[in-house]
């Protein structure tokens, strides 16, 4: 029974918020669990993450860029199960009904990849107005500590909010 629980892909929990109450210019919707990133975490495993979607964001009614913060909210639980987790965050803009194009955030006029880790439990990025976006985990890796009877391995919980 324990082996089955340890070899099962772990789901990812979501949350989202809007700091500006009453602001209807931006909509945030969590992706379904079927499209969430997954991985098999078990005792002393070093592994990779299967890519998946976290959130869908609509800024179609926003006239300016909107700043967002993507956080892992349960790092205190994760440090008991993992030595490290490194996740590459992807941002895609919808260009057609079923077509998404990768967007790379720009910091100080330099395009950069965005990584979310347990040590740095949040990332900030801006999304231009008048668009639909999806926030994903493109790839990642982890090192899981050995498990003991009665101790479960935690899964990351993500939270997306406007800044």
Please give the mean pLDDT across all residues of the chain.
83
Contacts of 150 (CB under 8 A, 6+ apart): none
Q: Does residue 48 register a pLDDT over 70? A: yes
CA–CA distance, 30 with 102 (Å, rounded to integer) = 19
% of the chain residues with pLDDT over 70: 77
pLDDT tens digits, one per residue of 112-125: 889 999 988 999 99
Burial class (CB in 10 A: 0-12, 13-18, 19+), 68: buried
Question: Average pLDDT for residues 136-158, to the nearest whole number?
Answer: 85
110 band by pLDDT with thresholds 50, 70 and 90: low
Residue 154's pLDDT is 85
pLDDT of 104: 78
Could you tell me which residue, 42 or 56, shows the higher pLDDT?
56
Look at the pTM and tell me if it is higher than 0.85.
no
Within 13 Å, how many C-alpha atoms sit on residue 71's CB side? 14
Mean pLDDT of 99-126: 83
* Residue 118 vs residue 146, higher pLDDT: 118
Average pLDDT over residues 37-57: 91
Length of the chain: 163
Q: What is the pLDDT of residue 41?
A: 84
């Amino acid at each position: 029974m324990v082996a089955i629980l340890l070899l099962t892909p772990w789901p990812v929990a979501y949350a989202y918020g809007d700091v500006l109450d009453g602001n209807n210019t931006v909509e945030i919707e969590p992706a379904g669990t079927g499209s969430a990133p997954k991985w098999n975490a078990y005792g002393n495993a070093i592994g990779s993450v299967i890519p998946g979607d976290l959130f869908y964001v609509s800024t179609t009614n926003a006239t300016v860029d909107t700043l967002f913060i993507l956080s892992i909210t349960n790092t205190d639980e994760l440090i008991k199960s993992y030595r490290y987790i490194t996740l590459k965050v992807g941002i895609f803009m919808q260009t057609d009904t079923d077509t998404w194009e990768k967007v790379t955030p720009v910091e100080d006029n330099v395009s950069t990849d965005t990584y979310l880790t347990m040590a740095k439990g949040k990332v900030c990025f801006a999304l231009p107005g008048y668009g639909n976006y999806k926030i994903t985990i493109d790839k990642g890796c982890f090192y899981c500590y050995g498990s003991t009877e009665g101790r479960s391995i935690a899964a990351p919980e993500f939270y997306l909010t406007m800044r």
